[in-house]
Chains A and B, each alone.
Chain A
Amino acid sequence: MNGSLERIRSRTAGIDLSWPVLLFVAAALCVLIVLPVSWLVYYSMTDRTGAFTADNFLRLATDPTFIDPFVTTVKIAVSVGAICCLVATPMGWLVARTDMPFKRTVRILVMACFVTPPFLGAIAWELLAAPNSGLLNQLYRSLTGVSPDVHLFDIYSLTGLIFVIACYTFPYVFVLVANALDRIPGDLEDASAILGGTAWITARRVTIPLALPALLAGALVAFLQAMTLFGSPAILAIPAGFHTMTTKIWSLFQYPPKPELAAAASLPLLVITVLLLRAEYMILGRRGYSVVGGRNSDPRLVRLGMLRWPALVLCFLLLLNPVFLPYGALLNAAFSRVPSQLLSLENVTLHNINFVLFDLSATKLALKNTFLLGALAATIGTVFALVIAYVTTRKAIAGYRALGFLATAPVAIPGIVLGVGLFLSYTRPPFVLYGTLWILLLAFITISLPSAYQQLQAALRGVHPELEDASRILGATRLQTLGRITAPLLRTGVIATWCFIFVGVIRELSAAIMLFTSETKVISVLIFDLNESGDLAAISVLGLMMLAITFVVVVAANQIPGFGGDVRLRNA
């Protein structure tokens, strides 16, 4: 072991790329992360004149217009966390550990809600469950014959909002739980069975304890996602007359802007996120996956017998909410003259498509910006993450731990907080990037870095250093080895990472909403703009286009085995 470390050291010394690489990457990470967070802290503690003050925080702690949104946000986050676990755990178990039919289809459908932008889901649910015009409420009234005042669902409510957020957050828990269950070796369960444990005892004593860390981690992730989400609350909570923390922060940028209050209001989100991630680390760190790590034998599948088909029906019923119903509502609205009417021969129209493609002068620019930013962020982000992952997994240079830490740090910065931080950093000299695509590019790279890094690190761990050593022993330089051996072996991982960053970028709203200008609008912002003027049909067309692009990219990425390992798309 020591020998190989020495070998590695001597190799790096030979090329001497280590220090420049370390310095460059560290500097870049500092610019990406430390700068915006520092400005955030600075603004939150100063007044307009730049003098130190605690007034912003005092106001935050005493003003009910800040306390109420905070309480609401906590309620939402806790409820969403709980609901996601309740829904995702049985589904994850059915998919990973039973002989339910069409398991792959279910996984693909969960993937579909994973990549559906939550704000689009929220708008689709307005079409479905607005109290009077919602399609589901109309259906309910026509089935029961109750008066037009009666409704079954009201999406413009705290419950409605929690429901919609949960719809697009549960895949995070699902992925974690299903993957953990996939990895539990069958041997352990077999041992329990051989020792006389019934199925229930095995589940209670072996399977559940082993899957519990993943579930807890999932609950935390769901909590954080729900807490930092911007789009869905902006679409559903404001019409109902309440704010969450994210919409409150955003509203502080409306005229007259109050950046110092926005900065102060952002910090609690940041602190809570850091603390919870720390807790997640401690939970996972203590329970560990060490038992789970080795692939001993495939997990035993539980035979559901008679229940196979009911189980599948249950999965599909659950998936109605995030996938089938909303997509159907969007399709309906895209082709209908009135979005709240079901398509029929009388009201079918291509007008909406025509409007979005040819009349709406913002479409072309937004599409161009979105593609450009998606491709650039994905490319730069992947390269960046690859370098850091290589350095940290091969321990190629001293200080690799710091790099790894910095690369994962953005996970603790909610999108809207990053947006505020970048806004404060880059609207003033020396770096005036506001109004350019660069500031959005910075935001998107920062946001996608942690998941890209984790994914590529996992991929690199799968490539045994022996292969590289062989190449080096045969006389290749480190760079040649990288190019000829490591890179081809990593190809699938790299492509997958690229695709996931791309998809993550085109659905990002919370940072983009703080940073765009009229000429740097992206599709998600355009959809949000259209929502504020109630152009539901145009939104549906744009949203479906966005989904189509996403699916093409995801299908491409899905050719790659092992979907969803550690991929964490952020909510928008």
Chain B
Amino acid sequence: MRNSKFSRRALLKGSAALALGGFASPLKAAAPEASPVTPALIEAARQEGKVAWYTSVDLPVAEKIAKAFEAKYPDIATRVERSGAERIFQRIGQEQGSRIYAVDVVNSSDAAHFIAWKRDGWLAPYVPEDVARHYKPEHRDMDGMFATWRAWLSVIGYNTTLVKAEDAPKSFADLLDPKWNGKIVKGHPSYSGTILTATFQMSRDLGWSYFEKLAKQNVLQVQSSAEPPKKLALGERAVMADGNEYNLFLLKESGQPVEIVYATEGSPLIVGPNGIFANAPNPNAARLFQSWMFTVEAQQLMIEVGGLRSLHALAKEKPGRKPLKEIKLMKDDPVAVERGSEEIKAHYTQYFHV
């Protein structure tokens, strides 16, 4: 994939570090050494016998990943705690605040969360070997606190039995056409990190006036970014204004009547980092899980069964899916999302009422 797509992340990391200047001295400190998976780590992880993964990836995908890890390490029961990224963020904040240490590894579709967690000192540094070897610096935290486990897009989609290809919307602007009134489904930024990130990028590039107009289209307001694709497949709505590309891949490949549209304005790029919590109840199992998650094996599985995109240098895109480098993207900017998250949600509620 073209480097320029992600180079802004490096820039952001820099600005993030600057923004956090008062804490530690991340600019000078060298990144921690990569940690190999040793027999001692595996044994210690087996002793712990379990690991809790908080994630916002769609539940069936998350469970398949967890089952694959359990198949590789049968003695480690993997519990998936899935909810929307914004819910996960709230839940973890509440739990840590009440000294309930239940989360081992976390994966969020709102990369901004990792800025907040890192600032609060809640993350533990750990660099899996694959991350050190096969991930570009811009896809991993310079202090080794997290790395981008998955990437995907928030896209437009439509139901092919309800909408003919030539009538389908080509751009976000097309969705404002009165003919789509009452036919659109979309996710919610107070629940979904994908939608929050996408809402940020779209409001930045298209202006809030876009959402003001979209809100008048009588949209079906669901929560998760995984739900608009499901509502399309049910035939409940003809078009989705935002939501996961990966769910549409999976539905389409299983024969459901859905199609993806990459908007001419560009599709919001979403990255989902993975990190280990400092007070993880199962620290060794957490490390083993984190290491495994970034292996080419797990990354390829994520592509195959999850429809997601990998930033692992050796992972291969699945034939039949449009390669990332051919898609016009909107820029991601976790630092700005972190700063503006509350305002984005408030703005959104003002237009969409819930």
Residues of A whose CB lies within 8 Å of any CB of B are 65, 68, 130-133, 148, 156, 237-243, 247, 251, 253-257, 338-340, 355, 359-362, 365, 427, 432, 434-435, 517-519, 529-530, 532-536, 538
Contacts of B102 in A (CB 8 A): 435, 517-519
A–B pairs, 11, beta carbons within 8 Å: A237-B354, A238-B354, A255-B190, A257-B94, A339-B234, A434-B94, A519-B100, A529-B82, A532-B84, A533-B224, A535-B230
Contact with A along B82-93 (1 / 0, CB 8 A): 111011011101
Nearest chain B residue, comparing its CB with the CB of A428: B98
**Contact, CB under 8 Å: B98 / A435:** yes
Nearest chain A residue, comparing its CB with the CB of B281: A519
**Contact, CB under 8 Å: A254 / B90:** yes
Residues of B whose CB lies within 8 Å of any CB of A are 52, 54, 58-60, 63-64, 66-67, 77-84, 86-87, 89-91, 93-95, 97-100, 102-103, 162, 190-191, 219-224, 226-227, 230-231, 233-238, 256, 342, 349, 352-354
- Chain A min CB distance to B285 (Å): 14
**Contact, CB under 8 Å: A362 / B79:** yes
Contact of A534 among B52, B89, B231 (CB under 8 A): B231
- Chain B min CB distance to A247 (Å): 8
- Chain A min CB distance to B103 (Å): 7
Contacts of B256 in A (CB 8 A): 338
**Contact, CB under 8 Å: B234 / A432:** no
**Contact, CB under 8 Å: B81 / A362:** yes
**Contact, CB under 8 Å: A365 / B79:** yes
- Chain A min CB distance to B325 (Å): 30
Most chain B beta-carbon contacts within 10 A, residue among A130, A240, A254, A361: A361
Contacts of A519 in B (CB 8 A): 100, 102
Most chain B beta-carbon contacts within 10 A, residue among A68, A243, A535: A535
**Contact, CB under 8 Å: A156 / B220:** yes
Nearest chain A residue, comparing its CB with the CB of B353: A241
Contacts of A242 in B (CB 8 A): 353-354
Known: A132-B236, A240-B221. A360 touches B59 (CB 8 A): yes
**Contact, CB under 8 Å: A239 / B220:** yes
Contacts of B222 in A (CB 8 A): 239, 532, 534
Contacts of A239 in B (CB 8 A): 220-222
Contacts of A256 in B (CB 8 A): 342
CA distance A148 to B91 in the complex (A): 41
Contacts of A359 in B (CB 8 A): 60, 63-64, 67
**Contact, CB under 8 Å: B90 / A533:** no
Known: A239-B220, A359-B67, A518-B103. A338 touches B233 (CB 8 A): yes
Contact of B354 among A133, A241, A255 (CB under 8 A): A241
**Contact, CB under 8 Å: B59 / A530:** yes
A-B contacts, CB under 8 A, total: 136
- Chain B min CB distance to A219 (Å): 30
Contacts of B342 in A (CB 8 A): 256
Contacts of A432 in B (CB 8 A): 98-99
**Contact, CB under 8 Å: A254 / B190:** yes
**Contact, CB under 8 Å: B235 / A133:** yes
Contacts of A532 in B (CB 8 A): 83-84, 87, 191, 222-224, 227
CA distance A204 to B354 in the complex (A): 48
Known: A340-B235, A340-B236, A518-B91. A534 touches B226 (CB 8 A): yes
Nearest chain A residue, comparing its CB with the CB of B56: A533
- Chain A min CB distance to B222 (Å): 6
Closest 5 CB pairs of A and B: A534-B227, A435-B100, A133-B236, A255-B90, A133-B234
CA distance A454 to B89 in the complex (A): 42
Nearest chain B residue, comparing its CB with the CB of A131: B236
Contacts of A247 in B (CB 8 A): 354
Contacts of A517 in B (CB 8 A): 91, 94-95, 100, 102
**Contact, CB under 8 Å: A241 / B60:** no
CA distance A339 to B103 in the complex (A): 33
Contacts of A434 in B (CB 8 A): 94, 98, 100
Contact of A254 among B82, B86, B97, B162 (CB under 8 A): B86
Contacts of B220 in A (CB 8 A): 156, 239-240
**Contact, CB under 8 Å: A427 / B98:** yes
- Chain A min CB distance to B245 (Å): 16
Contacts of B233 in A (CB 8 A): 338
Known: A241-B353, A340-B235. A534 touches B80 (CB 8 A): no
Nearest chain B residue, comparing its CB with the CB of A531: B223
CA distance A561 to B210 in the complex (A): 63
Contacts of B54 in A (CB 8 A): 518
Most chain B beta-carbon contacts within 10 A, residue among A132, A362, A535, A538: A132
Contact of B52 among A130, A237, A355, A518 (CB under 8 A): A518
CA distance A242 to B66 in the complex (A): 37
Most chain A beta-carbon contacts within 10 A, residue among B220, B223, B354: B354
**Contact, CB under 8 Å: A361 / B191:** no
Known: A148-B162, A339-B234, A533-B223. A355 touches B93 (CB 8 A): no
**Contact, CB under 8 Å: A435 / B95:** yes
Contacts of B226 in A (CB 8 A): 533-534
Contacts of B81 in A (CB 8 A): 362, 518
CA distance A533 to B99 in the complex (A): 28
Nearest chain A residue, comparing its CB with the CB of B354: A238
**Contact, CB under 8 Å: B80 / A362:** yes
Contact of A65 among B59, B64, B100, B349 (CB under 8 A): B349
**Contact, CB under 8 Å: B223 / A254:** no
- Chain B min CB distance to A51 (Å): 22
- Chain B min CB distance to A347 (Å): 11
**Contact, CB under 8 Å: A361 / B353:** no
Contacts of A131 in B (CB 8 A): 236
Contacts of A251 in B (CB 8 A): 190, 354
Contacts of A538 in B (CB 8 A): 59
Nearest chain A residue, comparing its CB with the CB of B62: A361
Known: A241-B354, A432-B99, A517-B102. A255 touches B235 (CB 8 A): no
**Contact, CB under 8 Å: A533 / B235:** no
Nearest chain B residue, comparing its CB with the CB of A337: B254
**Contact, CB under 8 Å: B63 / A518:** no
Known: A360-B63, A518-B54. A238 touches B221 (CB 8 A): yes
CA distance A533 to B162 in the complex (A): 23
CA distance A529 to B353 in the complex (A): 22
**Contact, CB under 8 Å: B80 / A243:** no
- Chain A min CB distance to B94 (Å): 8
Contacts of B66 in A (CB 8 A): 361
CA distance A336 to B248 in the complex (A): 20
- Chain A min CB distance to B76 (Å): 12
Contacts of A533 in B (CB 8 A): 58-59, 82, 84, 223-224, 226-227
CA distance A302 to B112 in the complex (A): 70
- Chain B min CB distance to A330 (Å): 15
Contacts of A237 in B (CB 8 A): 354
- Chain A min CB distance to B229 (Å): 9
**Contact, CB under 8 Å: A255 / B86:** yes
**Contact, CB under 8 Å: A355 / B60:** yes
- Chain A min CB distance to B333 (Å): 19
Nearest chain B residue, comparing its CB with the CB of A535: B59
**Contact, CB under 8 Å: B227 / A361:** no
Q: Known pairs A130-B236, A239-B221, A534-B231. 20 more at Cβ < 8 A?
A: A132-B235, A242-B353, A338-B256, A340-B234, A355-B60, A361-B80, A362-B82, A517-B102, A519-B102, A532-B83, A532-B87, A532-B191, A532-B222, A533-B58, A533-B82, A533-B223, A533-B227, A534-B224, A536-B230, A538-B59
CA distance A359 to B305 in the complex (A): 14
CA distance A166 to B13 in the complex (A): 54
CA distance A255 to B83 in the complex (A): 14
- Chain B min CB distance to A99 (Å): 46
- Chain A min CB distance to B108 (Å): 12
Nearest chain A residue, comparing its CB with the CB of B219: A241
Contacts of B95 in A (CB 8 A): 435, 517-518
